[in-house]
Structure 1
Amino acid sequence: MNFSLDEDQLAIKTMTRDFVNQEIIPQAREYDEKEEFPFEIHNKLREVGLYNFAVPEQFGGPGVDKISHALIVEELARGCAGVTTSVEANSLASYPILVGGTEEQKKKYFGIISSGGFSAFALTEPSAGSDVASLKTTAERVGDEYVLNGEKCFITNASYANYYTVLAKLKDSEGSKRFVALIVDRESEGVSVGPHEKKMGLRSSNTASVTFEEVRVPVANRLGEEGDGFKIFMKALSYARPMVGAQALGIAQGAYEEAVNYAKERKQFGQPISNFQGIQFMLADMAMEIEASRLLVQKAVWYVQQGTPNTKISSFAKCFASDTALKVAADAVQIHGGYGYIREYAVEKYFRDAKIMQIYEGTNQIQRVVIAKDILQD
């Protein structure tokens, strides 16, 4: 085992941290308050190569290894989880194409996002979140096309996506459990996007519903074979979940740093509150749980880097890191006292952003189901 980062990884981490300190943190609060999508920040991220990490280098990606990918995501989320979520939405939508796409599909659609476009992963529905088998969106084969009908909700980047990777149930028989994965172009007739959702956190990230009404999708836009859709999307999530852990880790790290700095500066009873053992124990627990999260995330990412994502380890990382993020953010607010409840202080935003980490890309209850199933199987 080697727990040290190599020179390239350290350089990427340092470069990303510097970028975040200079370009994201000074503006994060403003974009959060206005609930605006920060195109300027995204354009700058693209300029310095901090985008589309799931895209292979031969298709226009930055060519970073998966450990570096996780390091970048952690640093970005330390600055703003909303920005990071939209950056990673391009990665999430890329994984089904990476898993089940042809060379032609990869060249075309990775080319779109590598040249400044956005994409979106369209899985969740109003009546089907954790229970993917209950999807109501259907795809019916008609000649050389599929006719797509249904609604997807809570879709990141929905308003700005050039295309969507969509999971639909094949409309071939009553009660069908066969699924198909499709790439749907935004400009296709029958595609409509709802209003931007008003959210507790991640306010600088775009979230909206997408409706498909008699949308005709060429068979050439199918990923894998008919019936492979569910398998493709689940494998895609196994690639993505460690990066949710990395996002949660970044939120926790940012909240922790704010708490440490505040504890050193804030004086009560004639001395910094960092001198009090009650505060010291809180900071020690925060540091310990963050480091444990980091090790789990990096282990999960290592499996992805080997091309063999481990579902159980991915769930470990996503679940533990996101639980840690909320706990650390809550403790950071507590250490700030009343000031932690005021928007002027960064810990208030970290706290709001942390909650979604326990929910999206598989709730932490579902992660525990996945883990239990793995450890109890023969």
Structure 2
Amino acid sequence: KPSGRLEVIQLMEMMDSMLEKAGVNKLISITGPSQLHNALELMRAEQNIYNIVFHELIRQVSVDCVERGQLLSKLRQRYVSLLERVPEQMKTLYAKMTAQRMVNRHITEELLYFKESLGQLSSELHEIREHDHKVTEEAEKAQEELTATMQETKESANLLEEYRELYELQRRRLEEQVLLLAQERDIWISAVYDLALKIIDRNQLTLVHRLHVSGKTLTSILKHFIVLLASKDTEDLTDLQEETEQFKEKLGHIGAEIERSEESSQGKLQMVCSTFNKWLQYFPSSDLSLLPLLQPKGSPTFRDTASSLLFFQMLKDDLEQFGGEVHLSKTESLKNAAILQEHWMELGQRVLNRHWDLAGALPPQHTALEEIKQRACELYQQYKIRISGNN
């Protein structure tokens, strides 16, 4: 049926009605996550309406002219494909714009942070400059003080050098005077000696000559005895030092051995006492005749427990340390140390007896030697008591 004007008017009214229902003019019926999505939804709805209208319009045109309808249909398809590419491009551009906006926001935040950091660095730089200025002033002040101190030191050194030169001059002058006096003394002594010899020879003073010869002989003998006494003292002091070192080593060895023995005995006794205390917990009665009746099942006894025999053997072995060969060995070592001590005490007494003072009294070291002897005797007595086990 050929299309007429009435159909065109109806198609126009239908298009307006559909557009009004779709809300193209009001933009209130379609919502989306963003303004772009709203526009795309509206375009899609509007495009559907246009497609319907185009289909009807192409049908009406094709009634009059098929070729015109085909051209119009082809044009509509091209237009539809063009419009379909537009939303995709808009979405791509929107995504790029959103990403660019996020990048811009991040760059803005970085710029703000950089600005804050730059401000902080500027304040720190200002503080560093102030500190540097202060340190520079202090360094300049210290340098000035150091320069002044060095100048004073230099002046003091110059003054000290002058004093030293003056002292050297005075010392050389005094040495020359002393040397001159010594030479004069030697000359006078030689002159007096020659004069005395001439007087003795001329007047034949035999007694004076003999006294002179005897004096020389006595002087040489005294020098010989002094050298001999010094040599003997050196030899005796060397022996005394060696014997005291030996005495110290022996006494230290004896003391260490006694300490080890006492520690071992103490440990054994503590172990035995702790075991006996545990055993006593099983025996509430002090009557030993009731022990078999009061003994609980599975409790330790003095007869049935093998550990009791071991403890008794330990006590027996420990008791043998205070008698027999062990006690004899310790006593013999202590006696040897005592003999060595008596020997170096006699040697020291002998050395001190060679050095009486002019008043006929012994030197003060003799009192110290007696005190050492007394303390050594007390130490021997203590060691003897500890070796015997009576402590």
TM-score, structure 1 as length reference: 0.22
| Structure label with greater radius of gyration | 2
Larger RCO, structures 1/2 (Cα 8 Å, 6+ apart): 1
Structure (1 or 2) with the greater strand fraction: 1
Structure (1 or 2) with the greater helix fraction: 2
TM-score, structure 2 as length reference: 0.21
